[in-house]
């Protein structure tokens, strides 16, 4: 079995008396794109720096390509197989070309090879026309492209990015993400990418790791994380879904009926009647129907009715909050929104798809 | 070459290398061929050493490093063993220096006179005094501005002795101290139009630039005696004993004495120093 | 007033006729001060970078010492160095008192805090992540040093100008450890003081004029380089 590109075992990073990062185990496969998401101070940057061999952990080991590298005496050689960029472009005085070729010059790559590789990457990132320009004269977006080129030209085995597009305005931001995805698709580099933008988190990686308070609380493909957040903190951070408390009425055949605000919702799993449960309703797994078309529903579907109370456009979708006796957040496509002519005050039916409802375990991970 | 930061670095490096190798040149002269002479600024400024030392260096091959400071400092340098020979003019201090074992040989070899200089108008009327102490008394009584060296030099010590003989303790706004050598003190005295006790040679040298006149002189009491002292070799293994002895021999030789005798005649019309018969 | 003009005339005369004594004095002044400036750069830039990047207890105290060092009176530095170098002192065995090397050493101590303080200030201003980014690009410690020197170029040039200006114009230390010995340690500043003391005002002014011209030309050259390096 091929060794993982990077592996962390029993890692702890302590500053003064506080533990700011604790990762018992993390394994990133070759060619995998891992996205890290979490609030400020969650430890994403620290984790990236430990992976990038820029910070030595207080405890634990880092394995690069199967080899243990913690406390190695030749960190410089190991670091030269990696690349890490930050939110700030951090370009050095001089021209764009001088910056892009810096890493290659540090590695004493022969002159003609430097020129070839630099030209290639300047072209890939659409900044060839800026080669001779002084970095003092670049816009933030251009500077960040130079930053990317500077690292990608090194053909790193693992590429670490610490919220690289956070300071770009939305259009620039979106196009950069797309470009990066295309480039990474071509090169098949192992990538670890930190962000706190939820859209990026949803679409960008193979796996999404949610970090809170220095720990990885959940790591799974993005879809799964968003539809089944591991706990309340994750759910709150991801922000969109509905969290509501209900009481179990009865339980038959592996499902249970839960009462919430006058409605009855069927959930998977056997629970004791009278138990209090915390439910998470994923905002994307709800179909919005107009009352007139309720005939299309089957018996298994959970359907609850309510009134639209707020409408918020977000990027290419719409978020609406429907008052069903408790607030339910629904995210639907622009198209659906318009087809249904939704607006504040409209009465609607919400059909909860089978995967939409999820029981949130309490603090100790138990499902009540 | 100046076009870039790198060019600058290269240029500076050349200077650095040059500076470092030139250090070698300065200490190239083996240490035992170097003689450190501590003397006073007035001795240095008189120009006598500029005349004599090249002959010494040519004759004996010793390189003389002349440090010209105040008498007090010259003696202090001697006490530390940082000089090999001294040429000073503070007889009482010198005698104590020898008595305390700091020096092993002392020879007085030349002299000049102290004179009292002041502005032509002579407000305190010192030219009418019959002796130096009397002149000093007149200055104190009239509280006319007097500028002292105030630096423990031979001149300063002579001045203090004169105040003592005059029965006066000089203090007050009229008595000021420059803390500097004879030359600068004369210039300051000239600017302030003060009285000042000076040696004749320095006065002659600066006569053209200062507005002061000699008002009282030629008192046999006011001899300013110059002596050579060899520093006690026991102070430091680095004391150049042979060099010190060679210097003494040279300074006391007939040739040198003849040169001293005629020094200054051409420029000032009179010799700056008198000889003490050995 | 017309003494100043005479000084200027005399200065030109001395230089044009190539008066040997004056040329020796000028050459020595340049050699000693440029060497000291360079030595202070070699010592001060790495120190400034190290202090600028570091975080340790007592760091602020060390930085305050460096800043105070900028204002150290040259004569005090001269006295301290003299105490070390004279025969009865701890380094007396080197026998370098009253030599150009002694002046170079004293002047290096004068310029060193200036260079360190200016370098340190500019490094502190850099984004703290820059150190990480340089390491992430695969730089060794030595390579990182040179990259940071490049980033601090303008400040280093300013420090060179300031350091050189301080040492070419000081007289206290030169006098103390050099002794103003003709042909060996007599530099422009000590010669000027001596000639003034002797009352030779035109010579003193001539030397002053030459000193000023010298200091100005070197400073001008450095300034031109510095301004070229500015990002346009």
Tell me, yes or no, whether chains C and B touch by having 3 or more C-beta pairs under 8 A. Answer: yes
The phi and psi torsions of C157 (rounded to 5 degrees) equal -65, -40
Distance CA C185, CA A13 (A): 59
- pLDDT for residue A104 is more than 50: yes
Angle between helices B5-26 and C20-53 (to 10 degrees): 120
User: Using the beta-carbon criterion (under 8 Å), do A84 and C133 form an inter-chain contact?
Assistant: yes
Q: Encoding tokens for residue B20?
A: 């470092």
Query: A98: which 2 tokens?
Result: 């001088």
Instruction: Provide DSSP, A175-241.
Output: HHHHHHHHHHHHH--EEEEEE--HHHHHHS-SEEEEEETTEEEEEE-HHHHHHS-SSHHHHHHH--S
Alpha-carbon distance of A192 to A345, in angstroms, equals 44
What does the pLDDT read at residue B12?
63
Co-location of A206 and A276 in the same domain? no
Tell if the CB–CB gap between B13 and C38 is shorter than 8 Å. yes
Domain assignment of residue C184, given as a range: 2-228
Which residue, A177, A202, A236, sits at the end of a domain?
A236
A326-330, B122-126, C6-10: least confidently modelled range: C6-10
Query: Which of A202, A236, A270 is a domain's end point?
Result: A236
Q: Distance between CA atoms of A34 and A17, rounded to whole angstroms?
A: 30
Pairing between β-strand A276-281 and β-strand A67-68 as defined by DSSP bridges: unpaired
Average pLDDT score over chain C: 90
pLDDT digits (tens, 9 = 90+) for B5-50: 666 666 666 666 565 545 444 445 667 789 999 998 888 888 899 8
DSSP-derived secondary structure letter, B109: E
Q: Which of C38, C149, C178 should we substitute to test contact with B (largest number of B Cβ atoms within 10 Å)?
A: C38
Q: Is residue A21 part of a domain?
A: yes
pLDDT at C222: 86
A170, part of any domain: yes
- All residues of chain C having their beta carbon less than 8 Å from the beta carbon of residue A154 are 137-138
Q: What is the pLDDT, as a whole number, of residue B11?
A: 64
A365 is a domain residue = no
Token pair recorded at residue B156: 């300063």
Does A touch B (3+ CB pairs < 8 Å)?
A: no
Summarised one tens digit per residue, pLDDT across range B194-239 is 999 998 888 888 887 787 888 777 666 788 899 999 999 998 888 8
Residues A218 and A69 in one domain: yes
pLDDT band of residue B1 (cuts 50, 70, 90) is very low
Asked if the C-beta of C98 comes within 8 angstroms of chain B's C-beta atoms, the answer is: yes
A83 and A201 share one domain: yes
**Looking at the domain assignment, is residue A1 inside a domain?**
no
Asked if pLDDT for residue A305 goes beyond 80, the answer is yes
pLDDT tens digits, C13-71: 887 787 888 888 999 999 999 999 999 999 999 999 999 988 888 899 999 999 999 98
Q: Do C147 and A92 touch (CB under 8 A)?
A: yes
Query: Does A77 score more than 90 pLDDT?
Result: yes
pLDDT surpasses 70 at A88: yes
User: What is residue A246's predicted lDDT score, i.e. its pLDDT?
Assistant: 87
Structure confidence at residue B101 (pLDDT):
93
Q: Which domain holds residue A12?
A: 6-236
User: Superfamily assignment of B30-111+223-275 in CATH?
Assistant: Periplasmic binding protein-like II (3.40.190.10)
Query: Domain limits of chain B?
Result: 30-111+223-275, 114-222
* Residue labelled with tokens 């160095």: C81
Q: Are residues A44 and A154 in the same domain?
A: yes
Chain C nearest CA to A349, separation (Å) = 52
Give the C window 115-154 contacts with A, CB below 8 Å.
127, 129-130, 132-133, 135-140, 143, 147, 150-151, 153
Using CA coordinates, name the residue in chain B closest to C190.
Answer: B68
Q: What is the CATH number of domain B114-222?
A: 3.40.190.10
The pLDDT-based confidence of A201 (bands split at 50, 70, 90) is confident
| Interchain proximity B82–C87, CB inside 8 Å | yes
Whether A367 is covered by a domain: the verdict is no
Structural domains of chain C, count: 1
By mean pLDDT, which of A210-214, B268-272, C39-43 is the weakest?
B268-272
Which of C56, C130, C131, C137 should one mutate to test binding to chain A, selecting the residue with the greatest count of A CBs within 10 A?
C137
CATH number, domain of C157, equals: 1.10.3720.10
The whole-angstrom separation of Cα B231 and Cα C77 is: 28
A13 and A106 fall within a common domain: yes
Cβ B124 vs Cβ B210: under 8 Å: no
A49 and A114 fall within a common domain? yes
Q: Could you tell me which chain B residue has the CA closest to the CA of C95?
A: B31
Q: Does C6 touch chain B (CB under 8 A)?
A: no
Same domain flag for A261 and A349: yes
CB–CB of A286/A330 below 8 Å?
A: yes
- ipTM value, please give it: 0.82
Inter-chain CB proximity A86 and C231 less than 8 Å? no
Spatial contact of B181 and B152, defined as CB atoms under 8 Å apart: no
Q: What whole-number percentage of chain B has pLDDT above 70?
A: 88
Sheet holding A242-252, edge to edge: A263-268, A255-260, A242-252, A276-281, A357-359
Orientation angle between helical segments C100-125 and C74-85, nearest 10 degrees = 130
**Do B114-222 and B30-111+223-275 fall under one CATH topology?**
yes
Q: Specify whether A121 is located in the same domain as A264.
A: no
Of A355, A352, A286, A271, the residue nearest A319 (C-alpha)? A286
Please tell me whether residue B66 adopts helix, strand or coil conformation: strand
Our CA-based measurement puts residue B140 at a distance from the nearest CA of chain C, in whole angstroms, of 28
The string of pLDDT tens digits covering residues B134-176 is: 999 999 999 999 999 888 788 888 899 999 999 999 988 899 9
Whether C231 sits inside 8 A of A134 (CB atoms) is yes
Question: Residue B252: which of B121, B87, B101 has the closest Cα?
Answer: B87
pLDDT at C113 over 90: yes
Number of domains in chain A: 2
The string of pLDDT tens digits covering residues A267-282 is: 888 888 888 888 888 8
The beta-carbon neighbor of C34 closest among B15, B41, B81 is: B15
A88 three-state secondary structure: coil
Interface A-C, measured as beta-carbon pairs within 8 A, has a size of: 57
Would you call B27 and C97 a contact, using CB atoms and an 8 Å cutoff?
no
pLDDT at A364 over 50: no
| Beta-carbon separation of C129 and A90 below 8 A | yes
Given C100, C180, C199, which is nearest B206 (Cβ)?
Answer: C199
Selected residue of A102, A134, A163 to mutate for chain C interface (largest C Cβ count, 10 A): A102
Residue A368 in domain: no
Mutate which of B3, B4, B5 to disrupt the C interface (most C C-beta within 10 Å)? B5
Assess whether A34 and A172 both reside in one domain.
Answer: yes
* pLDDT (0 to 100) of residue A355: 67
Angle (deg, nearest 10), helices B154-166 and B91-99? 110
Can you tell me the distance from the alpha carbon of A154 to that of A6, in angstroms, rounded to the nearest whole number?
Answer: 18
Residue A52 pLDDT greater than 80, yes or no? yes
Edge-to-edge strands, sheet with A347-352: A286-289, A347-352, A302-314, A317-323, A327-333
* CA-based nearest residue to B87, from B184, B197, B231, B215: B231
pLDDT digits (tens, 9 = 90+) for B129-145: 888 889 999 999 999 99
Phi, psi of B172 (to 5 degrees): 120, 175
Q: What is the CA radius of gyration of chain A?
A: 24
- Which residues does chain B have within 8 Å of residue C95's beta carbon, measured at their own beta carbons? 27, 31, 238
Quickly state the pLDDT bin for A300 (edges 50, 70, 90): low
- Are A213 and A300 found together in one domain? no
A217 in Cβ contact with A230 (< 8 Å): yes
The tens digit of pLDDT for each residue in A111-136 reads 999 999 999 999 999 999 999 999 99
* pTM of structure: 0.76
Closest CA to C86 of C106, C72, C69: C106
Q: Are residues A221 and A250 in the same domain?
A: no
pLDDT, averaged across chain A: 86
């Amino acid at each position: 079995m091929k060794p993982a590109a990077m592996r962390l075992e029993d890692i702890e990073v302590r500053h003064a008396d506080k533990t700011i990062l604790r990762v018992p185990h993390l394994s990133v496969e070759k060619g995998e794109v891992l996205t890290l998401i979490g609030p400020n101070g969650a430890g994403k940057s620290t984790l990236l720096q430990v992976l990038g061999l820029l910070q030595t952990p207080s405890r634990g080991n880092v394995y690069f390509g199967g080899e243990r590298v913690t406390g190695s005496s030749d960190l410089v050689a190991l670091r030269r197989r990696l690349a890490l960029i930050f939110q700030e472009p951090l370009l050095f005085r001089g021209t764009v070309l001088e910056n892009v070729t810096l890493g290659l010059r540090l590695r004493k790559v022969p002159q003609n090879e430097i020129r070839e590789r630099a030209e290639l990457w300047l072209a890939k990132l659409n900044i060839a026309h800026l080669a001779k320009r002084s970095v003092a004269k670049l816009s933030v977006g251009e500077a960040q492209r130079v930053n990317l080129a500077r690292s990608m030209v090194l053909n790193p085995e693992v590429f670490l990015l610490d919220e690289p597009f956070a300071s770009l305005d939305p259009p620039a931001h979106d196009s950069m993400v797309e470009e990066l995805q295309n480039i990474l698709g071509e090169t098949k580099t192992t990538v670890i990418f930190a962000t706190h933008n939820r859209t990026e988190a949803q679409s960008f990686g193979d796996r999404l790791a949610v970090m809170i308070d220095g720990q990885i609380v959940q790591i799974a493909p993005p879809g799964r994380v968003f539809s089944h957040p591991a706990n309340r903190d994750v759910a709150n951070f991801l922000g969109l879904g509905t969290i509501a408390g209900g009481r179990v009425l009865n339980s038959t055949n592996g499902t249970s009926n839960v009462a919430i605000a006058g409605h009855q919702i069927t959930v998977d799993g056997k629970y004791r009647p009278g138990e209090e449960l915390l439910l998470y309703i994923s905002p994307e797994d709800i179909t919005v129907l107009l009352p007139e078309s309720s005939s299309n529903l089957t018996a298994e579907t959970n359907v609850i009715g309510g009134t639209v109370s707020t409408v918020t456009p977000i990027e290419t979708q719409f978020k609406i909050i429907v008052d069903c006796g408790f607030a339910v957040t629904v995210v639907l496509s622009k198209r659906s929104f318009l087809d249904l002519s939704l607006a504040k005050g409209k009465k609607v039916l919400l059909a909860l798809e089978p995967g939409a409802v999820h029981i949130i375990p309490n603090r100790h991970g138990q499902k009540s | 070459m100046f076009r870039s930061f790198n060019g600058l670095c290269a240029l500076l490096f050349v200077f650095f290398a040059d500076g470092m190798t030139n250090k070698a040149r300065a200490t190239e002269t083996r240490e035992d061929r170097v003689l450190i002479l501590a003397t006073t600024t007035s001795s240095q400024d008189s120009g006598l050493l500029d005349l004599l030392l090249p002959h010494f260096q040519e004759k004996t091959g010793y390189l003389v490093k002349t440090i010209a400071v105040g008498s007090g400092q010259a003696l202090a340098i001697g006490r530390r063993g940082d000089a090999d020979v001294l040429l000073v003019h503070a007889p009482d201090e010198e005698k104590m220096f020898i008595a305390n074992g700091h020096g092993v040989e002392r020879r007085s070899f030349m002299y000049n006179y102290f004179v009292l200089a002041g502005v032509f108008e002579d407000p305190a009327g010192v030219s009418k005094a019959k002796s130096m102490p009397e002149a000093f008394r007149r200055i104190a009584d009239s509280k006319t501005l007097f500028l002292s060296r105030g630096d423990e030099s031979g001149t300063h010590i002579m001045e203090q002795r004169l105040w003592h003989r005059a029965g006066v303790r000089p203090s007050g706004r009229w008595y000021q101290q420059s803390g500097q050598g004879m030359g600068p003190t004369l210039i300051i005295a000239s600017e302030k139009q003060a009285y000042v006790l000076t040696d004749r040679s320095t006065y002659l040298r600066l006569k053209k630039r200062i507005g002061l006149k000699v008002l009282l002189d030629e008192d046999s009491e006011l001899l300013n005696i110059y002596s050579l002292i060899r520093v006690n070799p026991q102070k430091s293994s680095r004391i150049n004993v042979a060099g010190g002895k060679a210097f003494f021999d040279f300074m006391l030789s007939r040739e040198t004495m003849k040169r001293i005798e005629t020094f200054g005649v051409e420029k000032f019309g009179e010799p700056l120093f008198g000889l003490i018969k050995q | 007033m017309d003494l100043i003009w005479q000084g200027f005339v005399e200065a030109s005369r001395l230089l044009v006729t190539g008066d040997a004594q004056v040329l020796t004095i000028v050459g020595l002044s340049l050699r000693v001060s440029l060497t000291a400036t360079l030595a202070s750069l070699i010592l001060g830039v790495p120190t400034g970078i190290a202090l600028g990047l570091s975080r340790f207890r007592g760091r602020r105290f060390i930085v305050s010492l460096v800043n105070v060092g900028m204002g150290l009176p040259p004569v005090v530095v001269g006295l301290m160095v003299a105490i070390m170098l004279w025969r009865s002192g701890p380094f007396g065995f080197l026998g370098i008192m009253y030599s150009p090397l002694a002046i170079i050493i004293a002047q290096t101590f004068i310029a060193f805090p200036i260079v360190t303080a200016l370098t340190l200030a500019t490094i502190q201003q850099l984004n703290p992540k820059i150190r990480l980014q340089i390491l992430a690009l695969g730089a060794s410690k030595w390579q990182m040093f040179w990259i940071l020197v490049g980033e601090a170029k303008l400040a280093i040039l300013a420090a060179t100008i300031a350091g050189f200006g301080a040492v070419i114009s000081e007289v206290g230390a030169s006098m103390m450890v050099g002794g103003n010995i003709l042909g060996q340690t007599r530099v422009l500043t000590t010669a000027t003081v001596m000639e003034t003391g002797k009352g030779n005002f035109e010579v003193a002014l001539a030397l002053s004029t030459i000193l000023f011209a010298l200091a100005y030309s070197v400073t001008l050259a450095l300034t031109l380089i510095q301004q070229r390096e500015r990002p346009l």
